[in-house]
Structure 1
Amino acid sequence: MPIFDNFQDYNVGLTGPICGGFDISPDDDSDLVQVTRAFMVSGAGDVSVVLKSGATLNLAGLTSGVLYPFRVCKIRATGTTATGIVGLV
């Protein structure tokens, strides 16, 4: 029996709940499979990101389990020390 979804007729937007996710392996060259709505880390540390706008940011001292609402198209290996990074969409 399929799971009932009360919200199946609603459009997905940035203010709605997260509907999916994927593991991220930091890479200096490759873009992510899709732009994130947010990301989380399971091992605290720094994360170097390229935003959807093309700007590069070095986010220092991120805490595990916190939702970081950044529209990211790449997480760079150079400058990233956090582990267990998950992209949320």
Structure 2
Amino acid sequence: MNPFENRIQALSGPASDALPVIPDDAADLPHVAIGLYVETGGTVSIQTVTGATRSIAVADFSVMPIGVRRVNATGTSASGIHALVLA
């Protein structure tokens, strides 16, 4: 049985998938993320859904509940980043 089969997706979660992210200064994510999961902490430079650029310091195994359209390569030192999406 799939408990997600007839569920209406909501921005409050849960995400339906976690996609690996390769930070890029020019390309948006294939799907706008409802959040990010970061395996190895550092700084994450993002472009939010509003178009603002932010640099956020995160610890290992962090969840960032923020709408993200792009993860920038410049300024990002964290790794193992995954976009939490409603696909």
Q: One fold, TM greater than 0.5?
A: yes
Aligned-CA RMSD value:
1.1
Match 2:23 to one of 22, 26, 29: 26
Checking the alignment, whether the CA contact within 8 Å between 2:41 and 2:62 is kept in structure 1 is no
**Structure 1: where are the runs of 5+ without partners?**
none
Deviation at 1:82, TM superposition (A): 0.2
The answer for the alignment partner of 1:84 in structure 2 is 80
1:42-57 maps to which residues of 2 (within 5 A)? 42-57=39-54
Count of matched residue positions in the alignment of Structure 1 and Structure 2: 85
1:47 aligned partner, one-letter code: V
The answer for the alignment partner of 2:34 in structure 1 is 37
2:23 aligned partner, one-letter code: P
**Structure 2: where are the runs of 5+ without partners?**
none
What do residues 7-58 of structure 1 show as CA deviations (whole Å, max 9, x unaligned)? 4222100123221010001110111111001101111100000001101101
Query: Secondary structure at the residue paired with 1:15?
Result: coil
What do residues 33-89 of structure 1 show as CA deviations (whole Å, max 9, x unaligned)? 1100110111110000000110110112x0121211011000001100001100011
The answer for the alignment partner of 1:11 in structure 2 is 8
Q: Give the distance between the partners of 2:19 and 2:3, measured in 1 at CA.
A: 24
Q: Give the distance between the partners of 1:16 and 1:28, measured in 2 at CA.
A: 27
